[in-house]
Amino acid sequence: MITELAHFALILAAIAAIIQMIVPMIGAAKGWAGWMEAARPAASAQVLLTGFAFAALMRAFVVSDFSLAVVVANSHTDKPMLYKISGVWGNHEGSLLLWVLILALFGATVAWFGQGLRTSLRARVLAVQASVGVAFYGLILLTSNPFERLAVPPMNGQDLNPLLQDPGLAFHPPFLYLGYVGLSMSFSFAVAALIEGRVDAAWGRWVRPWTLAAWLFLTAGIALGSWWAYYELGWGGFWFWDPVENASFMPWLIAGALLHSAAVTEKRETLKSWTVLLAILAFGFSLLGTFIVRSGVLTSVHAFATDPLRGNVILGIFTFFVGGALLLYAIRAREMTARSAFATLSRESALVANNVLLAVGAFVVFVGTLWPLAAEMFFGRTLSVGAPFFDAAFTPFMIVLALILPVGAVLPWKRATGKSVRPLRIAAAAAFLAAALAWTLGTGKPILAPLGVGLAVWVIAGAAVDLAQRTGRGSFAERAGRLRRLPGADWGRSVAHAGFGVTILGISALLGWQVEDIRVAAVGERFEVAGYGVTLADVTQGRGPNYTTTMADMRVDKGGRVIARLHPERRVYPVAGMPTTEAAIRSGVLRDLYLVIGAQQDSGDWAVRTYIKPFASWIWAGAIIMSIGGAMSLGDRRLRLAAIRRKAAPASGVPAE
């Protein structure tokens, strides 16, 4: 009964979305206040109805209601509760329901908290947001109904893909969706502004928090996925340039560009049409990502629910929204004139360079991801585009980006001189010293790692210099006092930039200095890897809640002391009939110990892999720091919105910049 009610609620939500799409749009065109206001109750109704539908689906998973097809296909009574819940979005139907729920929720926040917006702009934003919703409600109700019943419910389910039964992956999709859908808000604002024919500082101020939120969720989501790959796939790779990874990486890059150009639009009222274009593209890439994942057009293990019809419908949605928005853009973009000018050497120019590099990077990923498809369709060639291509074609742009980042951050708006970059001398010296130190420590190793470390220190020290610059002149105590009172946006920027540097450092060190050892070891045997002694103490068979396991007991010693006892496993999930490798990892600040147990050899001994991975955890720590930076900036934004509303923004008295 609840299931049928939920299905019905979803249909009602679709109707609410249709009303929200049409009525406020007409109201805004005609200037009818009542019609514009209709958007707000409709948005609230959408959230309540979709929320109910989602809760009902979650209940079906929690109580293992096997009369629902989607529960049978993706759950099992033996599954731990966490994965019963994550199973709700670990499949096509449920993940689309989560998608529309977040879409409705974000739309409603504008309805609830958007009093500061012009009424006509708010009405149009909500109408555009609802139109995206209508498309996805249609997709769910017509092709992917999660509430489909089975005539004869089976006794038990088929279990969720064991690779997905993991804490990292349990929360990976919701974060990505918060990011993807967050960009739908930027898109709605962009299209609404194009319809209004007006982009001003207030518009930039509204787009920025949404983009910021989307970007920080995407950062966290991508980091979770990468972390999962690191420990789950058994050899410690953190990025595969898999089409599905690229699908989330492209919107992340464009959102990063949008974040920076929206700042220019807000603070300087220039680069407007470019910001609007980026907002459209960012959501376009989100939709493209959904298409890639859901259609399975590009082979990938992630595409666990592939279906040509659904793929075609999503492609149709993508074409309609991106094509329509770009058409509107072509007609209207010329009306958005800049209201300030800037010199060739200025922060504006540096941010333009940032945007060019991020956009070109995203373009390279885009071309590389879709090239196998294009080559087959147009040139009759079946080929692969893998990591070696992306490493060679994409990385240079990120290196240049990291090189100019600290410079752009300390340049003043409008007009800069050579003097502006002088404080960065300390950062340059630190970078040079770090690279030299790294090179001496790793003699004979590839030169790339020391260069990467130097670059990372340049970015991190640059972020510190940037922050110190904000405190102005005066005694140390005065400056320290001002440092504490700096706005969250200043802190956020420096923290996020430093996080980017930390990630660069982790990647460089890992690629340059990783030590790998593959061997056959007898039980009780001790062997040495890069100064660490590793002992295979025991191997036992065991059972988990829904799997069987072969577990090794291994000890790692250094300097005569046991520093870690680790238990790498090989699991077999009998219901899904699938083995997984569970590496045992001891993470540290300076290095990760990474142990994997392999198959038993004919001799009765065991294949064992040992990795020493220097600075590996810095890769994800950097991503977390970036997200924290985003959150700090977001906190500041809210305060500033409130301050602007009160029309009493006191000058902070900081002469920095």
Partner 1 sequence: MRHIFAALLIALAALPALAVTPDEMLEDPALEARARDLSTGIRCLVCRSESIDESNADLARDLRVLVRERILAGDTDEEIEAYLVSRYGEYVLLRPDTSGANLLLWAAGPLALLAGLGVSVFYIRRQRSYDGAGATHFSAAERRRLDELTEGEQGRH
Q: Write the DSSP symbol of residue 522.
A: -
CB of 320 to partner 1, least distance (A): 25
Residues 305-324 that bind partner 1 (CB under 8 A): 305-307
Which residues from 555-594 bind partner 1, rule CB under 8 A? 570, 572, 576-579, 581
Decide: residue 425, CB within 10 A, 0-12 exposed, 13-18 middle, 19+ buried: exposed
299 in contact with partner 1 (CB under 8 A): yes
> Which one, 328 or 607, has the nearer CB to partner 1?
607
Q: Figure out which of the listed residues 448, 518, 522, 590 binds partner 1, where binding follows CB under 8 A.
A: 518
Q: Which of residues 594-623 bind partner 1 (CB under 8 A)?
A: 596-599, 601, 607, 609
Q: How far is the CB of 236 from partner 1 (least distance, A)?
A: 10
CA 378 to CA 372: how far, in whole Å? 10
The Cα–Cα gap between 127 and 10 comes to 18
Provide, rounded to whole angstroms, the least separation between the CB of residue 127 and partner 1: 25
**Piece in contact with partner 1 (CB under 8 A), picked from 129-137, 266-274, 585-593, 622-630:** 266-274
Residue whose CB is less far from partner 1, 167 or 388: 388
Piece in contact with partner 1 (CB under 8 A), picked from 27-35, 83-91, 248-256, 518-526: 518-526
Q: Are 33 and 118 in contact (CB under 8 A)?
A: no
Residue 153: strand pairing partners: none
- Are 609 and 596 in contact by the 8 Å Cβ rule? The answer is yes
Up-side HSE of residue 422: CA atoms within 13 Å toward CB? Answer: 6
Q: How far apart are the first and last CA of the chain?
A: 63
Burial class (CB in 10 A: 0-12, 13-18, 19+), 423: middle
In whole angstroms, give the CA distance from residue 430 to residue 220: 29
**Residue 526 or residue 558: which is nearer to partner 1 going by CB?**
526
- 397 counts as binding partner 1 under rule CB under 8 A: yes
C-alpha 487/C-alpha 490 separation (Å) is: 6
Q: Please report, for residues 179, 397, 466, 505, the alpha-carbon distance to residue 411 in angstroms, rounded to integers and kept in the order given.
A: 30, 21, 9, 24
Candidate ranges 30-38, 93-101, 173-181, 512-520; the one touching partner 1 (CB under 8 A): 512-520
Question: Between residue 356 and residue 375, which ones bind partner 1 under the rule CB under 8 A?
Answer: 356-357, 359-360, 363-364, 367-368, 371, 375
Site for partner 1 in 621-650 (CB under 8 A): 649
- On the CB side of 368, CA atoms within 13 Å amount to 25
In the complex, least distance from residue 577 CB atom to partner 1, rounded to whole angstroms:
5
Which of 153, 412, 533, 635 touches partner 1 by CB under 8 A?
412
Rounded-to-integer distance, Cα 100 and Cα 131, Å: 11
By CB under 8 A, how many residues form the interface with partner 1?
85
Contacts of 278 (CB under 8 A, 6+ apart): 254, 257, 258, 261, 355, 359
Q: Are 597 and 568 in contact (CB under 8 A)?
A: yes
Q: Judged by CB, which is closer to partner 1: 59, or 479?
A: 479
Q: Which stretch binds partner 1 (CB under 8 A): 35-43, 44-52, 314-322, 355-363?
A: 355-363
CA 67, CA 73: separation in Å to the nearest integer? 11
Asked if 488 interacts with partner 1 (CB under 8 A), we say no
CB of 166 to partner 1, least distance (A): 16
- Estimate to the nearest angstrom the gap between the alpha carbon of 402 and the chain centroid: 19
Nearer to partner 1, 553 or 657 (CB): 657
* Closest approach of partner 1 to the CB of residue 519, in Å: 5
Smallest distance, partner 1 to C-beta of residue 22, A: 31
Using CB under 8 A, which of the segments 102-110, 135-143, 295-303, 447-455 binds partner 1?
295-303
Is residue 385 part of the contact set for partner 1 (CB under 8 A)? yes
Identify the residue among 77, 109, 312, 384 touching partner 1 (CB under 8 A): 384
Spatial distance between the Cα atoms of 184 and 210, rounded to a whole number of angstroms: 9
Q: Among 340, 565, 590, 642, which residue sits at the site for partner 1 (rule: CB under 8 A)?
A: 340
What is the DSSP-derived secondary structure letter of residue 347? H
Residues found in the chain: 657
Distance CA 507, CA 456 (A): 10
Give the orientation angle of helix 617-646 with respect to helix 201-232, to 10 degrees: 160
Of the candidates 279, 609, 656, which has an alpha carbon nearest to the alpha carbon of residue 493? 656
> From the CB of 344, what's the least distance to partner 1, in Å?
6
From candidates 304, 318, 458, 615, binder to partner 1 by CB under 8 A: 304
For the bound state, the minimum distance from the C-beta of residue 650 to partner 1, rounded and expressed in Å, comes to 9
SS (H, E, C) 194-205: HHHCCCCHHHHH
Nearer to partner 1, 64 or 306 (CB): 306
We find the least distance from the C-beta atom of residue 244 to partner 1, in angstroms, to be 8
Interface segment toward partner 1; rule CB under 8 A; list 267-275, 442-450, 455-463, 498-506: 267-275
User: Quick check: 398 binds partner 1 (CB under 8 A)?
Assistant: no
**Among residue numbers 201 through 240, which ones bind partner 1 (CB under 8 A)?**
201, 233-235, 237, 240
Q: Report the amino acid identity of residue 324.
A: G
Handedness of CA 433, 438, 439, 441 (dihedral sign): positive
Minimum CB distance to partner 1, residue 247 (Å): 12
Where in 235-264 is the site for partner 1 (CB under 8 A)?
Answer: 235, 237, 240-243
Q: What DSSP element (H or E) covers 35?
A: helix 33-37
